[in-house]
Chain A
Amino acid sequence: MATGSAQLDATLTPPRLRVAGDWTLAHYATLEKVVATTKALLSDSTAIDLSALGALDTAGASLLVNLLGAARLGDLATAEPTLPTAQRALLQTIGLAMADYQRPKPVRRQNSATEVLARIGGTMEHVWHQQRRLLGFIGLTLETLARTIVQPRSWRVTSLVAHVEQTGLDAVPIVALLTFMVGAVVAFLGSTVLADFGATIYTVDLVAFSFLREFGVLLTAILLAGRTASAFTAQIGSMKANEEIDAIRALGLDPMELLVLPRVLAMLASLPMLTFLAMMSGLVGGALVCALVLDIPPVMFVGLVKSDIGVRHFLVGIVKAPIFAFLIAVIGCLEGFKVSGSAESVGEHTTSAVVQSIFVVILLDAVAALFYMEMGW
């Protein structure tokens, strides 16, 4: 198994190129150098001798075509008497294939400064475009909802219930556990800070205020943004990649009605319920710490909550839940529809769905907090 070679014998007239040894993938790197150096020395009058050629595969054949040119090799392959039929056929096939093949031109890189500017511009345009698309999708969802709500026949009850189970019921343990722990942490913080003022009794108010107004809904929304928005994107995205969405359209059905509405409605039903659960669970966590660390018995905890905290605090908290729910679900679904063919694209849009929905939730929560403060609620 000798490595292939191509030696030019310039002493003869005309000069003679002797191609010998194995021209295979294993020797590609060596052979490529040989080709590069020899090619310059060749002229049309050089005689070519292929008689000592050993093993040949497609990689070697393509190098030979590079060296000698497709047309010339074609002539040689037919003329050379000692060449086995198989190798002759291979050389001709590769020669034919490569005659059509043009090496793709490398893309010219632009000046880096203009490139940076172009990218900034491109990104801004992209962001603007995405926002418009989100608004459009929200409109479309509302329109579909308005249209479907008066036609009980097109309600997708089974799908809705299944999604409520997945997004709501299945999330109960994680939401309850998480908010319970955060409730306990807030109570610990309160007891530490308020102890300096001898006002540890206000730990109860701290826990109740924070959970009813903010933490209950915010923690749940962030959790569902991570848990459910990503699931919606991945589900719809892989359906899109698999042409299932196209199939739905081709069957004369509406993907908005079939896929988006049940998910949005399920989210609208689940998030408020989970928020309520989160509030209660957080209060229980706080009450437990109060009972163990501050000697405030649970009965007293409940009494203090009843006397100090108006029901409006609960209301301003829970009223945010449906809005968050709608946005999380819509962003999750829209990102799913943006997926294009590849597996990479599914991953990209799933990430984007989670990031966007968490961002929107926190942004809106901040705006709401400002608004409530100004209104004195």
Chain B
Amino acid sequence: MNAVLKPSPQDDVIQVRNLVNRFGTQTVHEHLDLDVRRGEILGVVGGSGTGKSVLLRSIVGLRRPTSGQVHVFGQDLLSLPPEKRSQLERRFGVLFQNGALFSSLNIVENVAMPLIEHGGLTRPDAQTLAGVKLALAGLPAGAETKYPSELSGGMVKRAALARSLALDPEILFLDEPTAGLDPISAAAFDQLILTLRDALGLTVFLVTHDLDTLYTICDRVAVLSQKKVLVVGPLDEVAQYNDPWVQSYFHGPRGRAAEEAHEVK
């Protein structure tokens, strides 16, 4: 399993090579290649069903690809012994599409759990720090002791973000983070990601449909289409790419509005 990869440049924290994902007879990814550089915010876009979430799951090691290689920090997660794998997994945070908060724990306990398990903090310390993370994610005071089922969708998103940030990860995987947030919160969310990236040197892998987010915070954009990464690069270049889907995505009514809004700023 070591022949294909060329010696990786230091700054690629995620390398995906020749990734193939099949569900039965349906092929989602066919020889997909993608690199994510250290410290960048990479936006991944694509139509519904183009396998954005499947790609994310393959990278974080939740899904064994049909074939191909995925290296995170230069290592293949799926071939590592459990102990090493767990150590590596602590270095990234994942925000799932629907939050995936533990329904039997309240919000503070949800965020404190990784701090207690991996950070080695005592319960009171962990809960205090969890409160800070929740405040950082913009959760209003008083929501800490509620259970996930008692929260609105947007609040679940923020709590889930706080949990994914609990251990100050190096790579943050976000699956549609701003979906279901009101525009003000979504904008604040974008700023928060930017701040954290600058302050902590985060690498962010961002699956999104939100054009404003793409224009505001993404360094590079990867378009998933036709079972592979069609084009990847800075937004301006990607937007010029000659492909019907890309054109209608970036130059449709919503794309234009987002672009204009960004230029005005």
Contacting residues of chain A (96-147) with chain B, CB-CB under 8 angstroms: 97-98, 100-104
> Once bound together, how far apart are the Cα atoms of A94 and B132, in whole Å?
8
Quick one: given A58-B133, A100-B135, are A25 and B147 in contact (CB under 8 Å)? Answer: no
- In the complex, whether B212 has a CB less than 8 A from a CB of chain A is no
Residue in A closest to B142 when the chains form the complex, CB atoms: A104
Question: Of the candidates A58, A59, A342, which one forms a contact with B147 in the assembled complex, judged by CB atoms under 8 Å apart?
Answer: A342
> Once bound together, how far apart are the Cα atoms of A58 and B195, in whole Å?
11
> Once bound together, how far apart are the Cα atoms of A85 and B197, in whole Å?
12
> Once bound together, how far apart are the Cα atoms of A344 and B108, in whole Å?
17
Min CB gap B180→A, angstroms: 14
B199: which A residues are within 8 A, CB to CB?
56, 86-87, 89-90, 93
User: Are the C-beta atoms of B168 and A59 separated by less than 8 Å?
Assistant: yes
- In the complex, whether B240 has a CB less than 8 A from a CB of chain A is no
For A53-89 the 0/1 string (1 means CB < 8 A from B) is: 0001111001000000000000000000000011101
Quick one: given A32-B125, A103-B128, A342-B104, are A97 and B136 in contact (CB under 8 Å)? Answer: yes
- In the complex, whether B51 has a CB less than 8 A from a CB of chain A is no
B121: which A residues are within 8 A, CB to CB?
28-29
Quick one: given A90-B195, A343-B103, A344-B103, are A98 and B135 in contact (CB under 8 Å)? Answer: yes
B115: which A residues are within 8 A, CB to CB?
25
- In the complex, whether B141 has a CB less than 8 A from a CB of chain A is yes
Min CB gap A246→B, angstroms: 13
Instruction: Tell me whether chain B's interface is mostly helix, strand or loop, or mixed.
Output: helix
Interface residues on A, range: 20 to 34
B131: which A residues are within 8 A, CB to CB?
101, 103-104
User: Are the C-beta atoms of A341 and B200 separated by less than 8 Å?
Assistant: no
Contacting residues of chain A (286-329) with chain B, CB-CB under 8 angstroms: none
B141: which A residues are within 8 A, CB to CB?
100-102
A344: which B residues are within 8 A, CB to CB?
103-104
For B204-228 the 0/1 string (1 means CB < 8 A from A) is: 0000000000000000000000000
User: Are the C-beta atoms of B168 and A58 separated by less than 8 Å?
Assistant: yes
Residue in B closest to A25 when the chains form the complex, CB atoms: B119
- In the complex, whether A46 has a CB less than 8 A from a CB of chain B is no
B175: which A residues are within 8 A, CB to CB?
none
A345: which B residues are within 8 A, CB to CB?
103
Q: Which of A59, A62, A340 has the most CB of B within 10 A?
A: A59
Contacting residues of chain A (340-359) with chain B, CB-CB under 8 angstroms: 340-345
Min CB gap A29→B, angstroms: 7
> Once bound together, how far apart are the Cα atoms of A193 and B145, in whole Å?
63
**Count of B residues near A, CB < 8 Å?**
36
> Once bound together, how far apart are the Cα atoms of A100 and B188, in whole Å?
15
User: Are the C-beta atoms of A90 and B200 separated by less than 8 Å?
Assistant: yes
A58: which B residues are within 8 A, CB to CB?
132-133, 136, 165, 168, 196, 200
Question: Of the candidates A28, A97, A340, which one forms a contact with B119 in the assembled complex, judged by CB atoms under 8 Å apart?
Answer: A28
> Once bound together, how far apart are the Cα atoms of A89 and B192, in whole Å?
10
Min CB gap B258→A, angstroms: 25
A32: which B residues are within 8 A, CB to CB?
125
- In the complex, whether B167 has a CB less than 8 A from a CB of chain A is yes
> Once bound together, how far apart are the Cα atoms of A57 and B144, in whole Å?
22
User: Are the C-beta atoms of A342 and B125 separated by less than 8 Å?
Assistant: no
- In the complex, whether B198 has a CB less than 8 A from a CB of chain A is yes
- In the complex, whether B248 has a CB less than 8 A from a CB of chain A is no
Min CB gap B125→A, angstroms: 6
User: Are the C-beta atoms of B132 and A98 separated by less than 8 Å?
Assistant: yes
> Once bound together, how far apart are the Cα atoms of A87 and B115, in whole Å?
22
> Once bound together, how far apart are the Cα atoms of A93 and B196, in whole Å?
9
User: Are the C-beta atoms of A93 and B136 separated by less than 8 Å?
Assistant: yes
Residue in A closest to B126 when the chains form the complex, CB atoms: A28
- In the complex, whether B34 has a CB less than 8 A from a CB of chain A is no
- In the complex, whether B86 has a CB less than 8 A from a CB of chain A is no
> Once bound together, how far apart are the Cα atoms of A59 and B122, in whole Å?
14
User: Are the C-beta atoms of A101 and B150 separated by less than 8 Å?
Assistant: no
A101: which B residues are within 8 A, CB to CB?
131-132, 134-135, 141
- In the complex, whether B232 has a CB less than 8 A from a CB of chain A is no
A57: which B residues are within 8 A, CB to CB?
168, 200
Min CB gap B90→A, angstroms: 11
- In the complex, whether B230 has a CB less than 8 A from a CB of chain A is no
Contacting residues of chain B (98-150) with chain A, CB-CB under 8 angstroms: 103-104, 108, 115, 119-122, 125, 128-129, 131-136, 138, 141-142, 144-145, 147-150
Chain A residues near B (Cβ < 8 Å): 24-25, 28-29, 32, 56-59, 62, 85-87, 89-90, 93-94, 97-98, 100-104, 241, 340-345
Chain B residues near A (Cβ < 8 Å): 103-104, 108, 115, 119-122, 125, 128-129, 131-136, 138, 141-142, 144-145, 147-150, 165, 167-168, 192, 195-196, 198-201
Which 8 A-B pairs have CB atoms at the shortest separation, nearest pair first?
A341-B149, A90-B199, A342-B103, A344-B104, A101-B135, A97-B135, A62-B132, A57-B168
Known: A58-B132, A86-B201, A342-B104. 14 other contacts (CB 8 A): A25-B119, A25-B167, A29-B121, A57-B200, A90-B196, A94-B136, A97-B138, A101-B132, A101-B135, A104-B108, A340-B149, A341-B103, A342-B149, A343-B104
